[in-house]
Structure 1
Amino acid sequence: MAATTIPFVVPRAPHLPEATWTAYLVTLLTAVPLLWRRRRPVGALAGVLAVGAVYGAAVDGPGQPLPYAVLIAFYTVAALCPPRVRSVTAVATASAVVASVAVLRGGDPRELLFTLFVLGAAFVFGRFADTRRAYLAAVEGRAAQLERANRIEAEQAAARERARIAREMHDVLSHAVSLMVVQAEAGPVAVRTAPERAVAAFDAISGTGRDAMVQLRHMLGVLRDGPPGGPRAPLPGAGALPELVARVRESGLRVSYEDGGAAAGLPAGVGATVYRVVQEALTNTVRHAGAGSAVVRLVLDGPLLTVVVTDDGRGPSPGGGGQGLIGIRERAAAHGGSVRTGSGPGGRGFELRVRLPLRPAEEGVPG
């Protein structure tokens, strides 16, 4: 409206007719349909053209350097309308402009060419705006999709970490508490019959508790927020199995251990898994099997490590095992291994057999 007002406030040449209020008001009406240009682009363009036709046919007033309202409405059609609508509208508008110039302006080629040029420019700018809007929408969509994928990946990583920590907590606490309970139950009997064995039982309880506290502090240190407070001891690996077997022997279970050198040089992740598997197997033997003896063997056959734990107890549980065996299967699956359980040799006792492939990629896999 400000642009269309300029020809009415600039002084005119004496030979030209005066600008009237009627001509001015009709000129301003060309801007009114633009209020609906986003909701009704074609309707707004038709309204602007209709008012312009009335002005050119019935009102003798100043002309406009540019058809401002027509250009804005035509730009909106190109930017917002679907392809078929904007194509039909473009052809109809160009035809109306050619007819208007031919009738009202005497068919001046220069004016016709200029009018078609500015209309074409408005149409091209409208298409550019639509293309940019579609591009930005696609970029925003990809960013939102990437954000969702990152969030899902973070949630899955957190779930895997929670499961790993749950396995570690279960293995540490279950093993330590089981040995401490067995030793505590044997303590009162030993006090009455063999005081020296009672002292050994209490020493075993103390040592098992201290070891459990060390491992729990390690895991809690990993979970603690903030920068690390200092170096932490590494997770126990296959090299710590002799100490584990010695602690279990103190509970009264006769345990023999054979590795044939297989425990040496294992990747850290595999070594930690082997330790936890043997720890959980011996814990189950102490708690549930009612066994007098157990055998732990590590067998290395090329790229395959087999961990075998057998006892002479009651044999497989009818329920198929609890959380401990589930944790063992999860640990083996993390390395692409397998777990088999069943009766021991000769149908006596219980046997756990875990197969773990050894590959370079196993290095660093959490146990």
Structure 2
Amino acid sequence: MRLTGCRAMEHLLRRLKTASPWVVDAGITLLVQIAVTMPFVIPRGPELPAATWPAYGLTALGVLPLLWRRRAPVAVLTAISGVQMLYIATLDGPGQPLPYAALIAVYTIAVLSPRRRRLAVLTVSGPLIFIGVRMNTGDVRELLFSLFCFCGAYALGRSQLRATRVEADQAAARERARIAREMHDVLSHSVALMVVQAEAGPVSVRTAPERAEAAFDAIAGTGRDAMTQLRRMLGVLREDGSGPRRPQPVLAELAALVRRVSDSGVPVAYATTGEVRPLPPDIETTAFRVVQEALTNAVKHAAPSRITARLDYGPRSLTITVTDDGRGPATGGGGTPGHGLIGVRERAAAHGGTARTGPGPGGRGFEVEVALPLVGSAPGVAQ
């Protein structure tokens, strides 16, 4: 029951973050109006001031400006404070436990207003609070309590602003890292294949002219594919978030990827085991990028004669294994650490999966093995 309540609260908070500011402010105004209404509806002793309609009307008037708190926070605080002063000076109605509307206005100023306006509000508010308390009870305890509430609302607003900025910086850093991984995967893979094909071209021209033409066609095809992917990524960067994003690579495209690598002169055997089925889009994109990076790493560093790529569809996880028979880590081949293998580990860890890299079966070649959970799992990265 408690877990269900927590999930409902998390869902509500997510909805509030994406809701229209006008809807949020209207909800806040309604909640404050309910709070200030309570002293008027709760039965009161005969010795207390009577709850009259004029008093309630003026109280409600002091809440209404909250609807515009984001557009003109200083003007809203001024209007609310003016209504409260008028209430104290002209009516002897029920008081409020807290100046709810004024505290929300102060919080909004702390979050949204520039430094000069905030300093002006801080300078003027002290004397105004003193005057308001003097007109009401003149009690020192009320003065200290009012100053404490004012400073607390302001401090809360400033801390919320800092937390929002930190969250925005962290989100920007994550997005930069994601873009860097995508750019690395696209460029590193395509350039590696083009280099291999270009190096084989002169040999083919001398020994097998008919194969040279195929090599140059493969270079052109790889370049065109790289340009297409880069344009797609740059198009995503230019989007403002209002339109649909371009599709990310999926596992159905692995066959074409394997064919391009094989055309470069390094045969690749691709196989799947288990029940092949559609997976969540983020899992499919990660799996595609892992295979792409492992193939690129082998072509660039290991000089293999053969590469094997296998996807094992388990009931609870997807296991990706890419093995080559090249030089291996012992001779500085496929095991050379770099941004690519770091990116593989980061991608696996982002899904709560594991990544293992090292010598292949029997100590020959190099192997990359990544396990991505298809259900909730504890995160971990194997070195």
Match of 2:267 in 1: 254
Runs of 5+ unmatched residues, structure 1: 1-119, 362-367
Match of 1:212 in 2: 226
Secondary structure of the structure 2 residue equivalent to 1:124: coil
The alpha carbon displacement at 1:130 in A equals: 2.9
Q: 2:159 aligns with which of 124, 138, 145?
A: 145
The alpha carbon displacement at 1:124 in A equals: 3.4
Give distance in 1, aligned partners of 2:211 and 2:353.
41
Q: Does 2:191 match 1:167?
A: no
Higher Cα Rg: structure 1 or 2?
1
The alpha carbon displacement at 1:294 in A equals: 0.6
Q: Does 2:365 match 1:349?
A: yes
The alignment's C-alpha RMSD in Å is 2.3
Q: Is the 8 A contact 1:263 1:271 kept in 2?
A: no
Match of 1:182 in 2: 196
The alpha carbon displacement at 1:360 in A equals: 7.6
The alpha carbon displacement at 1:196 in A equals: 1.8
Deviation digits for residues 241-299 of structure 1, max 9, x if unmatched?
11000000011111100013655311110100010000000001101001100100011
Distance 1:262 1:144, change over 3 A: farther
Give distance in 2, aligned partners of 1:221 and 1:190.
38
Q: Is the 8 A contact 1:263 1:298 kept in 2?
A: no
Deviation digits for residues 194-235 of structure 1, max 9, x if unmatched?
22211111111111111111111111112115476x765411
Distance 1:305 1:202, change over 3 A: same
Give distance in 1, aligned partners of 2:254 and 2:181.
18
Q: Does 2:283 match 1:270?
A: yes
In the alignment, residue 361 of structure 2 is paired with which amino acid?
Answer: P
Match of 1:286 in 2: 299
Q: Is the 8 A contact 1:239 1:264 kept in 2?
A: no
Q: 2:211 aligns with which of 162, 185, 197?
A: 197
Secondary structure of the structure 1 residue equivalent to 2:358: strand
**Which structure exhibits the higher relative contact order, with contacts defined as CA atoms closer than 8 Å and separated by 6 or more residues?**
1
Q: 1:334 aligns with which of 347, 350, 370?
A: 350
Give distance in 2, aligned partners of 1:320 and 1:311.
14
Distance 1:213 1:354, change over 3 A: same
Give distance in 2, aligned partners of 1:235 and 1:188.
36
Deviation digits for residues 92-138 of structure 1, max 9, x if unmatched?
xxxxxxxxxxxxxxxxxxxxxxxxxxxx9876354433322211110
Deviation digits for residues 326-358 of structure 1, max 9, x if unmatched?
000000000000111121112211111101100
Runs of 5+ unmatched residues, structure 2: 1-133, 378-383
Q: How many residues align?
A: 242
Distance 1:262 1:174, change over 3 A: farther
Give distance in 1, aligned partners of 2:167 and 2:352.
21
Secondary structure of the structure 1 residue equivalent to 2:319: strand
Distance 1:287 1:263, change over 3 A: farther
The alpha carbon displacement at 1:175 in A equals: 0.2
The alpha carbon displacement at 1:150 in A equals: 0.7
Q: Is the 8 A contact 2:188 2:296 kept in 1?
A: yes
**TM-score, normalization by structure 1:** 0.62
Q: Does 2:313 match 1:300?
A: yes
In the alignment, residue 257 of structure 2 is paired with which amino acid?
Answer: L
Q: Does 2:247 match 1:234?
A: yes
Question: Share of identical aligned residues, percent?
Answer: 58
**TM-score, normalization by structure 2:** 0.59
Q: Is the 8 A contact 1:239 1:263 kept in 2?
A: no
Q: Is the 8 A contact 1:312 1:348 kept in 2?
A: yes
